[in-house]
Structures are given as structure tokens and as C-alpha cells.
Amino acid sequence: MQLVEGQVAVVTGAGSGIGLGMARAFADHGLRVVAADVRSDALDATVAELRSKGCDAIGVVTDVSKRTDVEALAEATLDSFGAVHVLCNNAGVGIFAPIAKTSLDDWEWILGVDLWGPIHGVSVFLPLIQREQAGHINSTASVAGLVAGGAAGPYNVAKHGVVALMATLERELRAAKSPVRTSVLCPGAVNTPIAANSTASRRARRGELSARTREGDKLGDRMSAALAKGMAPDDVGRLVLDAILHGTFWVFTDPRLLRQVQEQMDQMINDRTLSRLRLFSEEKTTT
């Protein structure tokens, strides 16, 4: 897709991390940016930064798990800029516990943000993007959307769903000869505050944290340590921009992680067993 100055990009989860990296990449490319996040303070900081660089940007407080909020985001985008050309469904949360110790409320919360968020985004924004000469929808999944490790059941299920959502949509758009394209971001370790942000969001939703487990605490600590060594969010934002410009469907931060996907496929073919994952080695880490 050819992105020209003045076109409009909407990014959810833009208050920090990968979403902020995307917003910066689009602003540097000359796009107008609609930043969305559930945290108003982080959102205000993002918008102030983008505007300080000369970007025409607005912020819209949005809980992507609520369709009415996503509809309001679309309305605010059209009211301010009259069109939308790029959507990045990026907002995400995650907590860690074995499935047997994961409450139904935790399932609903994580699936609401991580899976229903992209579903709402596609449903609301696709008709708007299709009005333009060309457009693009990107959704953030994870390597966890290709292989599923332990103690992250709802997150894994949501991210597998996001991969399926985007692959289905891409094939449907191709079959319809639509000028709209899609991509899916499957990052490994990225240096983001997703763990801290998820904890804060969980507290805001229930007034308390989910039940802690020893296994969950251990995995969470390892995850946080791995993420701290991960790719810079700004670099991820530029990868997504490049995928949009060149029509690339799969976006990976560390292609070495695909070895685990290949190992899983090999065992599926050879003996129908489930491969063993090495989640937090220096070279092989999933988010």
C-alpha cells in the first residue's frame, strides 16, 4: 500500500509499548494519527509527544472490549479527519496462571481485550476503510498465537484467534479483489510494560487482582525479565509500517522463533505428539 502524507492511521493501545511505537512510526511517515488507549494519562502523553513533532494527532479513550467504545472511536476519527486508511488493533493484556486456576472472569477479561478488541475493530472499521482507494488493517497477535505454552491459557487462545481472524480476512479480501490488505504481528520479546499495565487494568476492572499462583508468579517474573531484553517498541512500529508499505502479511520480530513452529509442525506430521517449547531461552522467547 502506498501511504501518502495526510492519510489517517488509528492505533489502539497507543499509550505505551508497541502501540506507541506504531504511532511514532506513522507520525514520522507523515500520517495523521488517532491514538486510542484505556488509560487517559498515558494517552495524553502520547498525543502531546506526537503533536510536538508536528503530527496532527488526537486521542480517544477507548476500551476495545466494548463495541460502543470502538464505534465512538470510529466516529471521533471521522469527525476529526473525515476518513481512515489504516487500523492497528494492538491493545492487549495478559496474566499468568494454570488453566485450572484461571477464573471465568479472567477468561472474559482477556478474551474481551485481546480477541474481541480486534473483532470489534475489524467489524467497525473495515466498512470505513473500504470507502478509500486502498487501506490496511493490522492486528497484534503473538508467537503465542502460533504455539501455546503453559500458564497463559486465555492469552494463547486469544492470540490464536487473532491469527485466524486476520488470515481469514486477508483471504476473503483477496477473493473479493479488494484494495484493502491485512497483516498480523506475531512478536517475540518486546520491551513493553504489558505486565504492569495488565495488573493496573485488572485492578481497575475488579478493584482487586486475580488470584496469584506460584507457577503464575514464576512465569510472570521470567516473562518480565525476558521482555526487558526484547526489541525496542519503536523498532516494532517500523516493522509494521514496512509490512503495510510492502503488503507483507506476517510480521515477526524474531524469525528464529519460527523454529518452534516448525518443530511443532514436524511432530504433527511425524508422530502426532505435542512439541516441547523453550519459552524463555535467550534466543527463543514468546510474548
Tell me the catalytic residues: 155
Instruction: Tell me which amino acid residue 207 is.
Output: G
120 is a domain residue: yes
Length of the chain: 287
Taking 70 as the pLDDT cut, the residues of the chain under it are: 194-224, 226-227, 278-287
The torsion angle over the Cα atoms of residues 124, 130, 132 and 138, rounded to 10 degrees, is: 70
284 is a domain residue: no
Instruction: Tell me which amino acid residue 66 is.
Output: K
CATH number, domain with residue 188: 3.40.50.720
pLDDT at res. 229: 77
Cα 59–Cα 63–Cα 64 angle in degrees, nearest 5 = 100
| Closest CA relative to residue 187, chosen from 150, 241, 218, 232 | 232
283 is a domain residue: no
- How far is it, in rounded angstroms, from Cα 175 to Cα 157? 27
Its domain, for residue 149, covers 8-255
pLDDT at res. 101: 93
285 is a domain residue: no
Contacts 24+ apart (CB under 8 A), 235-238: 235/21, 236/18, 236/21, 236/22, 236/185, 236/187, 236/190, 237/18, 237/20, 237/21, 237/22, 237/23, 237/24, 237/25, 237/26, 238/21, 238/25
- How far is it, in rounded angstroms, from Cα 262 to Cα 20? 31
Instruction: Tell me which amino acid residue 3 is.
Output: L
193 is a domain residue: yes
| Closest CA relative to residue 242, chosen from 166, 170, 138 | 138
281 is a domain residue: no
237 is a domain residue: yes
- How far is it, in rounded angstroms, from Cα 87 to Cα 1? 13
pLDDT in tens, 226-276: 667 789 999 999 999 999 999 999 999 999 999 999 999 999 999 999 998
155 is a domain residue: yes
- How far is it, in rounded angstroms, from Cα 180 to Cα 175? 11
- How far is it, in rounded angstroms, from Cα 38 to Cα 202? 12
pLDDT at res. 208: 54
Q: Is 247 helix (H, G, I), strand (E, B) or coil?
A: coil
Q: What's the number of domains the chain is made of? A: 1
